[in-house]
Structure 1
Amino acid sequence: MSFGGFTSEALKFLLENRFNNSKDWYDSHKDIYKQYVYNPFVGLITELAPTMTEIDSQLLTIPSKLISRVRRDTRFTKDKSLYRDNAWLVFLRDKSQMSSAPCFWFEIGQSGSSYGLGYYGAEASSMANMREMILNSHPKFISALKCYESQNTFVIGGEMYKRSKFPDQPENLKTWLDRKNIYFECVQNDFSLAFSKELPDILKNGFTRLKPIYEFLCAVELYNK
């Protein structure tokens, strides 16, 4: 299936689905979800898959495993709304191979879109490994740092400690060291990218550019194991 682009109909469905908050409403409009949300994501994944397997041959590329569920898991949240008003894809390894896997993502929501690389929620052990590798100037980190500092598309993010745990380190290292979670994202506060048929090529270029950082995060997961 080729990628034909997202449209405002996708956002309209997602918003109305959350507003109605009803399984009956969703079931009666499932064909709209399939046409405007699910199928475009399948087409996007299909076009991205060859590039993603070049980045890492172990990345999953089966659409049904990569597209966000339309219904929310409300077991552990205060917000008990059944449906979300955004949707996304992730490329990551099978969790049986890497339980805390970094992932590439693209997300579309009511205010725009974003794409990038990182953890949804990094394990404390992963962040501890990362800090040790940074402090030891691990070659994978040196490549990742060079990658990040040589571009201006992606911005580092993730919750930071209120007080630096490494006050004597250079500022460019502290922005990695002092985080509880870490990701690298490009955010669009409009729909020019999400609605563009050039989206697959832009994501291919962006994800390929992030490859040294991805390889570092994979090395973090395997560190001392």
Structure 2
Amino acid sequence: MFNGFTKTGIQFLKDLAANNNKEWFELNRQIYEKNLLTPLRQLVSDLQLPLKSMDAEIETSPAINKTISKIYRDTRFSADKSPFRTEQWISFKRPTKIWGNVPEFYFYFTPEKYGYGVGFYSATPQNMEKIRSYILAYPEKFEPIIASYNTQNLFIPGGENYKRPVTNSLPEKFQEWFQKKSLYLGCEKDIDTVFFSVNLKDTLENAFAENARLYHFWLEAIL
């Protein structure tokens, strides 16, 4: 059962940033496994049933490369050759051959902040075009979904806009959701007492449930 992350785990990430090499990591691997990997697995396990109730086809295995991020970085195409990540995340999505091309529920943290929400890591232009077409075809279905976010200030739409606006006949309230190359809805917080407690699991479960309608709208659009 997930009981919260530890200050030891956060300190490990800070120390890793200052000692980002294989020798240091191997000397401290047990700290990583006990204070980061184990609670990540516990958190995923505790969220399995709620996520499966939202989407029976979503991947919820508490395993690295399934729902849990690797600690190792892929440096083949990066100018930064640091071998290890100093942030961690989990994501729940349907299996896909193209990474980031389906909507997902996500949670991440760095030594200073954590965040969670729903969205695409890196949607293809084809899928974003499908979403725009779906919004145009069913604006009456999309409008109440986005209207529900007008009464809160926790989850904020994000993603890079196109340099040239996509021409359409929709009202202004749709445009923030229509002009993105990729799209997510999320929040970010400073590391706080919730992060170190069992309450984090409930926070994520409630957040994912709150954003389930948007997740399913996106799924319907691209399938």
Letter paired with 1:43: Q
On the 8 A contact 1:157/1:184 being kept in 2, the answer is: yes
| 2:217 pairs with 1:209 | no
Letter paired with 1:57: A
3-state DSSP of counterpart to 1:127 = helix
Letter paired with 1:120: Y
Deviations 1:27-85 (A, max 9, x none): 22111001110111111111111100001011111111211100111112221111111
On the 8 A contact 1:103/1:118 being kept in 2, the answer is: yes
3-state DSSP of counterpart to 1:63 = coil
3-state DSSP of counterpart to 1:114 = strand
* Mean Cα deviation higher: 37-46 or 99-108: 99-108
Question: Residues 122 and 85 from structure 1, CA distance in 2 versus in 1: closer, same or farther, beyond 3 angstroms?
Answer: same
Match of 1:10 in 2: 9
Q: Which runs of 5+ in 1 are unaligned?
A: none
What is the alpha-carbon distance in structure 1 between the residues aligned to residue 100 and residue 72 of structure 2?
23
Match of 1:132 in 2: 133
| 2:129 pairs with 1:113 | no
Letter paired with 1:58: E
On the 8 A contact 1:105/1:115 being kept in 2, the answer is: yes
Letter paired with 2:133: E
Match of 1:161 in 2: 162
Task: Trace 1:1-225 onto structure 2 (pairs within 5 A).
Answer: 2-64=1-63, 65-95=66-96, 100-137=101-138, 140-166=141-167, 169-222=170-223
What is the alpha-carbon distance in structure 2 between the residues aligned to residue 135 and residue 158 of structure 1?
20
What is the alpha-carbon distance in structure 2 between the residues aligned to residue 138 and residue 63 of structure 1?
37
What is the alpha-carbon distance in structure 2 between the residues aligned to residue 143 and residue 49 of structure 1?
28
What is the alpha-carbon distance in structure 2 between the residues aligned to residue 69 and residue 209 of structure 1?
28
Question: Residues 140 and 31 from structure 1, CA distance in 2 versus in 1: closer, same or farther, beyond 3 angstroms?
Answer: farther
* Mean Cα deviation higher: 34-43 or 150-159: 150-159
Q: CA deviation at 1:137?
A: 2.3
Question: Residues 74 and 139 from structure 1, CA distance in 2 versus in 1: closer, same or farther, beyond 3 angstroms?
Answer: farther
Q: CA deviation at 1:138?
A: 5.1
Q: CA deviation at 1:149?
A: 3.5
Letter paired with 2:127: S
What is the alpha-carbon distance in structure 1 between the residues aligned to residue 24 and residue 134 of structure 2?
50
Question: Residues 105 and 29 from structure 1, CA distance in 2 versus in 1: closer, same or farther, beyond 3 angstroms?
Answer: same
Q: CA deviation at 1:140?
A: 4.9
Letter paired with 1:13: F
Q: CA deviation at 1:146?
A: 3.8
* Mean Cα deviation higher: 11-20 or 195-204: 11-20
Letter paired with 2:176: T
Letter paired with 1:10: G
Q: Percent identity?
A: 33
What is the alpha-carbon distance in structure 2 between the residues aligned to residue 75 and residue 217 of structure 1?
32
Q: CA deviation at 1:131?
A: 0.9
Q: TM-score, normalised by structure 2?
A: 0.91
What is the alpha-carbon distance in structure 1 between the residues aligned to residue 141 and residue 168 of structure 2?
23
Q: TM-score, normalised by structure 1?
A: 0.90
Q: CA RMSD in A?
A: 2.1
Q: Which runs of 5+ in 2 are unaligned?
A: none
What is the alpha-carbon distance in structure 1 between the residues aligned to residue 195 and residue 109 of structure 2?
7
On the 8 A contact 2:72/2:84 being kept in 1, the answer is: yes
Q: CA deviation at 1:9?
A: 1.1
Letter paired with 2:107: F
